[in-house]
Structure 1
Amino acid sequence: MEIQQVAQRLVELCRAGKYEQAHEELYAPDAVSIEGDGRQADGVTIGMEAIRHKGREWANNIVEVHGGSVGDPIVAQGWFSVVMGIDATYKDMGRMAMQEICVYRVRDGKITHEQFFYDTDKS
């Protein structure tokens, strides 16, 4: 799959809320996921099993989704980015609306790296 196809497919699956299917179809087994700058204790996740676990924990923390958005991908050689947003009520944080810039690296037709940039304060 070419990078534009990977990017479009990820957007399609995320818009449908099919995050686990995106992991199965589009990610390399040794993919790396970084939250923010990666300096937090749990900021770097390595390998698809660990990334799937992180995704399930995030989903299990959601009480209710009030809205969300997934922008169109911007592609530059081996990378693409997407703006995503969610307005949700979480078990541990209450209701919070946020937007993030999601950056992905693609090699050999698979996502090998993802990094999410967002503000963590509620103001």
Structure 2
Amino acid sequence: MDTKQIADRLVELCREGKYEQAQQELYGEDAVSIEMDGLPPGALGNASGMDAIREKGRRWSENIVEVHGGSVSDPIVAGDWFSVAMAIDATYKDMGRMPMEEICVYRVRDGKIVHEQFFYPTS
């Protein structure tokens, strides 16, 4: 798959809430996941390699009590990179109800996502 096909498939799976399937299907084993600087102690941080990224995803989903809404934009593709705007309104075990919006940026190499980075307010 090329970058546009991968981006479209990621958006499709995320809109269906199939994050684990997206990781399994679309990510390279050497992928990295980068969060914003300045996160509070105990927050999910950066992860390197698919085992660590899967664990990060598992911890995030286990913390969700209820999802009230959300959205995933169409992707914007440029070469080996693409970005997607995502939003979620959810109640978390450790934070209560918290709506969040972010820009997610991805890099594709050899037909797999190898880099994801998230941009959102930390205050």
CA distance in 2, matches of 1:35, 1:83: 15
Counterpart in the other structure of 2:109 = 107
SS at 1:28's partner residue? strand
Confirm or deny that 1:52 pairs with 2:54: yes
AA aligned to 2:71 is S
Q: 1:28-39 maps to which residues of 2 (within 5 A)? A: 28-37=28-37
Number of equivalenced pairs: 121
Deviation of residue 36 (structure 1)?
Answer: 1.4
Partner of residue 66 from structure 1, selected from 59, 62, 68: 68
Name the residue aligned to 1:77. 79
| Structure 2 stretches lacking a partner, 5+ long | none
How many Å separate the matches in 2 of 1:40 and 1:89? Answer: 18
State the percentage of identical aligned residues: 73
Q: Distance in 2 between matches of 1:83 and 1:34?
A: 16
Instruction: Report the equivalent of 1:118.
Output: 120
For residues 118 and 65 of structure 2, the distance between their equivalents in structure 1, rounded to whole angstroms, comes to 22
Cα deviation, residue 44, structure 1: 1.9
Q: Which residue of 2 aligns with 1:3?
A: 3
Contact 2:39/2:122 (8 A) holds in 1: no
- Unaligned 5+ residue runs, structure 1? none
Backbone CA RMSD of aligned residues: 1.6
> Measured at CA, do residues 44 and 114 of structure 1 come closer, stay the same or move farther in structure 2, by a change above 3 Å?
same
